[in-house]
Amino acid sequence: MKKIYSLFAAMVFSAFVSAQTTIYSENMGTPTATTAISANTFQNGSPISYSGTADVRVSSASSGYTGASGGGNIFFTGTAGTNFIVSGINTSSYSNIQMSFGQLKSTNASSNELTVEVSSDGSNWTPLTYTRPTGSGTTTSYLLINPTGTIPATSSLSIRFTNTNTTQWRIDDLKLTGTAGTLAVTNLSTVKGGNFVKNTFVKNDEITFGADAKDIKVYNMLGQIVKTASVKENESVSVAELQKGNYIVTGTVNNKPVSQKILKD
């Protein structure tokens, strides 16, 4: 058993599924009139939440691209700062995460004044980029937009759309896809000031960490995620619900990926 485990730990995890699968899909509901975001019934419920200063409309329904739902759509007035935020999407078990959404612009300019950003904590935002073909943004034609950039694997992803000028915008059919399975990680256990995991032999049902760590994931020997968390230095995470045996713990410390083998007794 030790020989098998050592071989497994020396190798990196590999993704079990190569095909993209749908993580999250939202058609913005089917309101019968202009509705505030806070009052709208969206396709997805808790733990996913919706907020912002945009609203939900039934006019100019989405069409012209594969998957257009044609129901409600998010409308951004011609006021800079109008926004729409989706929070609480769990992407922690996926890699190669991609986004798409239908977009309608009130002018034919190809510029992208509707920004798209993602966040793993709701405070620090990273912009994604996309390109609209020249002359594509008419008042009658939706485009399917596929932004590029890094979308984090996290237990609570947030997405924010913000109008940065006086153009009116509409979006619909927001979708995330990803590769299900585990992410490749290297066996890097040492961090500045000590070890990533302080007690690699877990006897009291708690893993204690030697550094501030984000996006902690505990993998079983099948490579499945069985626990997620974020901790401060010297904090502990309960694993009482896990069976005795070997596990791999991964996380991000000082923006660097780390991992460590543990044995739960």
pLDDT tens sequence across 10-61 = 343 443 334 679 999 999 999 999 999 999 999 999 999 999 999 999 999 9
Question: Residue 28: its pLDDT value, please?
Answer: 98
State yes or no: pLDDT of 134 exceeds 80: no
CA angle 131, 134, 139 (to 5 degrees): 95
| Structural tokens at position 241 | 């619900």
How many Cα atoms sit within 13 Å of 68 on the Cβ side? 18
Domains defined along the chain, listed by start: 2-14+183-264 (2.60.40.3080), 20-180 (2.60.120.260)
pTM of the full structure: 0.65
Higher per-residue confidence, 11 vs 230: 230
| Structural tokens at position 146 | 């596929």
Question: Residue 15: its pLDDT value, please?
Answer: 35
State yes or no: pLDDT of 5 exceeds 70: no
Residue 205 CB burial class (10 angstroms; 0-12, 13-18, ≥19): middle
